[in-house]
Amino acid sequence: MRTGYIKTTNVSQADATNFSTVTGIQITATEPTGTAARYVLKPAGGEWMHYNSTLSAFEAVATQELTAASVLEEGNTKAELEAISDAEKLAVFAGKKADVFVAISANDEAMAMPSLTSLQFAGRTGATTLAANYTSDAIRLTATGRPVEIMSITVDKSATANASATLQAAIQNESNEWTDWAEYTSFVTSPATKAVAIKFKGVLTVDSVGTAEAALGSVTIKHRVEDSAVFAEGTGTCISKTYNFTNPMTAAHLMVKHPVVADTEVKAYISMRGKPVEVKSELLGTGTGASQTVTLQHTDKIASHGFTLYFDGEAQAQTSYALSTTDGQVTFNADEGVVVTADYTYNWEKEEFVEMTYDARYPDTLDANMVDDQFNYQATKDTDPQGSVAAVRIDLVQNKGQVQDEAIGTGKGILQAFNLAHKAKSETLVVKVDGQEVHNYTYKDNTNVLFVTAPSGAAITASYSWAADTVYLESIACIFNR
């Protein structure tokens, strides 16, 4: 029988600090055939505990100096913990963090060990408030182990009234120690905070179930090592300003000036749409002292943003009325005799991009290092995008991939230089001479040249992961035509 254990650290604890009432335990884990997992928990300031189904209560385990064997004997199963839904039985964890110790075992026939993805508490922050915690995996910021500087952290989050979305972070230093959870902005400092890894925890709360909403969309981290910026391969996007033309446009020709960079490509897209119409001070009627529903004069493609309702010229809070953008109906309650008006926008369409057709590449006449990629667009049917509001988008694509045993040359018994087919990630490079891995080579990633010495006639191969250098836009020019 093989045994082991999983134990939380200060940034992977089960967190119920936001809950005044804990209503359940949720576990995401696997137990393959021939394996077992048992759980014990320790609330902050308390002892290691298990749930005693006979007493219907949590109690301290007999062996506080935990081992895999002791927890396999005294711990609870996943099913036993998830079956507890009585808040009184879970009260010992309310408002606290809890450490988790999972003992795992596998017999000789088991093909894999058990795993634990997460153990979380469910609960309420108040009588009618629901809350949820979401913790990310550790995000490695460096491949070398040297700490990098955190330059900025940008969060995409949203919350309606009676809801909130907050984000915390914890960082790992070069000694592999994690800080405690803190507001993510506390790690954006001057001088910059350094870290080798980072984790995030989102806390979402909702007071009005069914009507309030909270969401965390994305988190973006910019970081650098020493004085050099750190970039990840991928796609960079540039979107032009939005142009408003007097006449509807149906065609365009785009010129994109950029340097020639191996293993990169440029893609172009265009957006054309009708011009939105703004309405100011449309009279909806007068108040009656009771709820009224009035239909706007223009109901086609009403914009959800930019709508303002006025009572006697005074703007009203968004929570005091209801707008249906599908049929233009506005519901409000104004005092008797109050003049009700509205500002709004109709004929509003979302900005949606379609790909342009590649035309040709032309050398730049003023700079031999630059080229002009040109693209065309033509609306050929009524359903194709067209209109007087237009913009273009350019995607700069850094391709990446893997090479296995690329034949790069034959040895001559002296030091030789070879250009690889792609720019290798040096940490992944494996060089072989006649099928045997060697280490007496040098790779210059700034020039993509490999230097190696091999016996005369020996076959030299290289395997590696690769990613293109970054490419940038020098300039763009677009001609629109109606």
The reported pLDDT for the residue numbered 225 is 61
Give DSSP secondary structure letters for 50-118.
Answer: EEETTTTEEEE-S-SS--HHHHHHHPBPHHHHHT---TTTTGGGTTSEEEEEEEEEE-TT-SS--EEEE
Q: Tell me the residue range of the domain where 37 lies.
A: 2-127
Residue 228: band (very low, low, confident or very high) from pLDDT cuts 50, 70, 90: very low
Per-residue pLDDT, 226: 52
Give dist(CA 241, CA 238) in Å, integer. Answer: 10
Q: Is residue 200 part of a domain?
A: yes
pLDDT at 378: 96
The pLDDT, as a whole number, for residue 129 is: 63
Say what the pLDDT of residue 445 is. 79
Given 212, 230, 248, the domain boundary residue is 230
Q: For residue 227, is pLDDT > 50?
A: no
Q: What is the dihedral angle through the alpha carbons of 308, 310, 315, 321, rounded to the nearest 10 degrees?
A: -70
Q: Are residues 145 and 226 in the same domain?
A: yes
Same domain, 186 and 201: yes
Judged against a pLDDT cut of 90, whether residue 11 lies above it is answered with no
Mean local confidence (pLDDT), 218-229: 68
Same domain, 7 and 97: yes
CA-to-CA distance for 26 and 441, rounded, in angstroms?
52
Q: Is residue 49 part of a domain?
A: yes
What is the mean predicted confidence (pLDDT) over 11-19?
85
- Rounded percentage of the chain residues whose pLDDT exceeds 90: 61
Q: Are 256 and 374 in contact (CB under 8 A)?
A: yes
Q: Are residues 53 and 116 in the same domain?
A: yes
Tokens of 375: 């693209």
Q: Are 20 and 94 found together in one domain?
A: yes
In a domain, 225, yes or no: yes
Interval 261-272 mean pLDDT: 94
Question: Does residue 412 lie within any of the structural domains?
Answer: yes
**Where do the H-state alpha helices sit in 123-277?**
none
What pLDDT does residue 230 have?
A: 43
pLDDT tops 90 at residue 175: no
- What is the Cα–Cα distance from 98 to 27, expressed in whole angstroms? 14
CB 100, CB 41: distance < 8 Å = yes
367 or 417: which carries more pLDDT confidence?
Answer: 417
> Quick one: average pLDDT of 441-453?
89
The per-residue pLDDT for range 113-166, each reduced to its tens digit, is 888 888 989 888 765 567 777 788 888 888 777 888 888 888 888 888 888 889
Look over the chain and give the mean of its residue pLDDT values, rounded to a whole number. Answer: 90
Looking at the domain assignment, is residue 201 inside a domain? yes
Q: Does the pLDDT value for residue 481 go beyond 90?
A: yes
